[in-house]
Homo-oligomer: A and B are copies of this chain.
């Protein structure tokens, strides 16, 4: 018989980010006003007859999501943009945010001004109301943005709606985000709204942890598999190879799936910012990659993890 380890001696890193999230999720009880709690890009809450409210938070931390060598304007910008990207992934419109700032004592006023200016650049661009905040002393710089959005009930898109034979698309180009894009990306808000206004989108997620890992979230939530065509994956100029596009995080592009019939309509509209990269299969087939030699291989859903 295997002895269970003392939980006091198991580091939380053994469980991993997703293990810990799952552990919390199992213990949470929510009432019927919560349409979708943890496990999507945003929480989805009852609002009124026609709309849901979206609620999300994202924390960025010095040494993990940025360094102090980065332009503070871009750090502030990123803090807000990642939450906007979450709202976009649920096809919503961002409306309000509050910001918590953990600030090391020695930072200069100039640094803070730039940080704030960066935050406001995204807030103002999307007409979001920055409605409050909290400032605390901290040893390392931490920014946490919580955002509220709104989405028409009929236009809400979750990770869990992918259907067999759906075609899989991504926006933009992938890979190499670490070289700069992760600080400068524009959340795909306009594109997400264009998509849900004109087509029936079955599932969607933003790429924060890498194409394979985030597609993996769609597959798990939808109980499906997928076949991805290596040759169709749009590489960004900064990408240092295919693996970079598959596994590196923070592209903040969207992955979405739709039926072939809907996809025909999409192709007629010819947006130049989408790429067809594969199709949804049954769950038993898992996640597979068709490489450039026409060979299929299984792919492990790995990508960026915080632990």
Contacts and interface: CB of A to CB of B under 8 A. Distances in A.
Interface residues of A, number: 78
- Interface SS majority for chain A: mixed
A57 B144 contact: yes
A131 B11 contact: no
Contact of A37 (B10, B108, B129, B148): B129
Contacts of A102: 59, 61, 142
A206 B293 CA distance: 66
A34 interface: yes
Given A12-B107, A65-B136, A99-B57, A130 B30 contact: yes
B306 A15 contact: no
B109 A34 contact: no
A50 interface: no
Given A129-B34, A130-B30, A131-B38, A139 B136 contact: no
A78 to B, nearest CB: 13
Interface stretch (A112-120, A171-179, A211-219, A228-236): A112-120
The list of the 4 closest CB pairs from A to B, nearest first, reads A43-B131, A146-B146, A59-B100, A7-B110
Interface of A: 6-15, 17, 20-21, 23-24, 27-31, 33-34, 37-38, 42-43, 45, 48, 55-61, 63-65, 95-96, 98-103, 105-113, 116, 120, 123-124, 127, 129-140, 142, 144, 146, 148, 306-307
Given A17-B135, A103-B307, 10 more contacts: A7-B109, A7-B110, A34-B129, A43-B132, A55-B96, A55-B146, A60-B136, A98-B146, A134-B144, A144-B146
